[in-house]
A and B are shown apart, each in its own frame.
Chain A
Amino acid sequence: MGEGTAPRTLFDKIWDSHVVERLPDGTCILYIDRHLVHEVTSPQAFEGLRMAGRSVRRPDATFAVADHNVPTSDRSKGIDEPESRIQVETLERNVAEFGVPYFPLMDARQGIVHIVGPEQGISQPGLTIVCGDSHTSTHGALGALAFGIGTSEVEHVLATQTLLQKPAKNMLIDVQGKLPFGCTAKDIILAIIGRIGTAGGTGHVIEYAGEAIRDLDMAGRMTVCNMSIEAGARAGLVAPDEKTFAYLKGRPYAPKGEAWERAVAYWSTLPSDPGARYDTTVTLKADEIVPLVTWGTSPEDVVPITGAVPDPEAETNEARRAAKRRMLDYMALTPGTRMQDVAVDVVFIGSCTNGRIEDLRAAAAVARGRKVADGVRAMVVPGSGLVKRQAEEEGLDRIFREAGFEWREAGCSMCLGMNPDQLKPGQRSASTSNRNFEGRQGPGGRTHLMSPAMAAAAAVTGRLTDVRQLVN
């Protein structure tokens, strides 16, 4: 069956339109439309170009920003930590040398690369987007094929504007019905990962569909696509629709005038055709989703906030039983403990998963008129300088500050603890980020993943809390 005859998925359409050459063994030279670059995974790639005497093929399609190890405290005096400073300075030298557009640290547009791309309108439907960061899947919320790559591939894209790839399998995740009160996009994606596991999507690109996905705003769709990688998938996709177009219209790098009309007409052809074939289909009922938290050190270890720490001895597979024992030991939890009885030391609201203005509004709605519990450190880290500015215009910073939250500058921050924002050994966090791996937020730190509203609820009570008890 040739192109244009068989029904195709959204992924198939984007893939087909980006194949430059199909090599005899099926490997494709895939054209890349947008390349986002940050300070941690790019220095060795630029160095590789320099050593081979190569240039950046399309600096106009390449955008750089420092996010992973920038301080989220006052930055006007620069970066204290020498290694972080060298990495950011190296990025600045590289973008100057190779002519790559860059959003500097003191620019309001600086922020987490996956917040910045959509915010600036750099990420658009039907494009291929890559970045040396696994959470590039975020941009799939706009109907773009977006995935994370390693540094060798960063160098490959810089030099050739292409990648060597084989097509992924198609997975459809159909989230039917309406999401109940108190539940968010974060609960949808945690429910999905809990269901299919962290390797469930391996080899696939996931297309999220169904009423509950259509009902999400763009921020919610980004949260869902963001954690596709935690489900093992390379990328997540949501079909572009009127919400997508309304979100993009007028953004700095979005098409304008006649080009906008042509773009929308094209984007409208992208959704999967009726009868398109998926290799794997998963169905979830949104009305059965409840606010979720993680208990272990893998994002698939989810449990309803109303539930309890599971018993590893109930696990039949020996390796998994041993792994769960190790997790509980690391997390200092005992089977049967009610999740709502688990006290937290730190609350982190931010990250590429949940650092958008909508996330801060949801957290502020819970924090409003309340106080952070004694002994809890709560921090809010906006996803970009523009998110921060917007929040301040709406008075959200005042709500957070009056409640006792720290109001910080934009960056990846405690999501991965590359900057000074780290958990101390043994500390326990309620976090809106994406990974609860051992040591992820600092050596010996213990992470519980949840939605922004749930994290704010934990901040004001000092323990994991069912947010439905705090809001009407």
Chain B
Amino acid sequence: MQPFTTLTGIAAPLPIPNIDTDKIIPARFLKTIKRSGLGKNLFDAMRYRADGSENPDFILNQEPYRKAEILVAGPNFGCGSSREHAPWALLDFGIRCVIAPDFADIFHNNCFKNGILPIKLPQEICDALMEDARLGANARLTVDLERQVVVRPNGEEIHFEIDPFRKHCLLNGLDDIGQTMAYAPKIDAYEAKRRAAEPWAFA
């Protein structure tokens, strides 16, 4: 996993509540056996017209947002299915940070497994950042994970909270599985104990 330390980039405004994972990447694009290549279908229904051409009204089809690396979104972002294809599609497009008032649980979890930082901030702060994201060429935010701040175009710094374990993993690009494997003796011991107490659960 690519570490996430600091990121300075174009922030795109997406002021729609309840952006679900079907909106992020529709089910018909999940027929891949790879993680890469999903970016072209990110937000497919909003991004393309029925004839397949780009919808010029959609923010990510406009300059400078074609190169957006940060999304500022509405509440309950990522609700719906557990598909990790949603963060894969965001990442493949180039988005490495999503800022919203809140996120659906599974999507939130999935982001951290892919080096994407989801930042939860109160609605009124998201509203201010949404205005920043509308500044076109000046819609640049800096996200500093170590210091846990978002720096606005006017220089103001906004603090955000993050789970310390997840911060550590993101900063260092750590693979969860390798870390958990270090606890293998504990998992063995747990299994032995449970197997004795609840043999039917291991039959």
Whether the Cβ atoms of A155 and B177 lie closer than 8 Å is: yes
> Is B161 an interface residue, CB under 8 A from the partner?
no
- Which residues 36-79 in B have Cβ within 8 Å of A in the complex? 45, 50, 74-76, 79
Q: Which residue in chain B gives the minimum CB-CB distance to A20?
A: B190
- Which residues 282-298 in A have Cβ within 8 Å of B in the complex? 298
Contacts of B15 in A (CB 8 A): 319
Whether the Cβ atoms of B176 and A164 lie closer than 8 Å is: yes
Q: Mark B185-203, 1 if CB is under 8 A from A, else 0.
A: 0110011001000111111
Q: Which residue in chain A gives the minimum CB-CB distance to B75?
A: A199
User: Which one, B28, B105, B109, B181, contacts A417 given CB within 8 A?
Assistant: B28
Chain B interface residue number, banded:
35 or more
User: Which one, A44, A60, A319, A440, contacts B74 given CB within 8 A?
Assistant: A319
**Centre residue among B32, B34, B104, B198 by max chain A CB count within 10 A:** B198
**Docked pose: A57 CA to B181 CA in angstroms:** 11
Stretch at the interface among B18-26, B90-98, B131-139: B18-26
- Which residues 4-39 in B have Cβ within 8 Å of A in the complex? 15-18, 20, 22-23, 26-28, 30-35
Q: What is the number of contacts between chain A and chain B, taking CB atoms within 8 Å? A: 187
> Is A266 an interface residue, CB under 8 A from the partner?
yes
Contacts of B23 in A (CB 8 A): 437-439
Q: Which residue in chain B gives the minimum CB-CB distance to A43?
A: B33
A90/B84 contact (C-beta < 8 A), A54-B177, A159-B181 known = no
Whether the Cβ atoms of A443 and B45 lie closer than 8 Å is: yes
Beyond the given pairs A20-B187, A87-B31, 8 more chain A to chain B contacts, judged by CB atoms under 8 angstroms and listed by A's residue number, are A43-B33, A47-B33, A83-B32, A124-B200, A127-B201, A134-B80, A439-B22, A439-B45
- A residues with a Cβ closer than 8 A to B are 17, 20-21, 23, 25, 27, 29, 31, 33, 40-41, 43-44, 47, 52, 54, 57, 60-61, 68-69, 81, 83-84, 86-87, 90, 124, 126-127, 132-134, 136, 148-153, 155-156, 159-162, 164, 166, 198-199, 202-203, 229, 232, 234, 255, 259-260, 262-263, 266, 298, 319-320, 323, 326, 416-418, 422, 425, 435, 437-440, 443-444
- B residues with a Cβ closer than 8 A to A are 15-18, 20, 22-23, 26-28, 30-35, 45, 50, 74-76, 79-84, 87, 102, 104-106, 109-110, 113-114, 163-165, 176-177, 180-181, 183-184, 186-187, 190-191, 194, 198-203
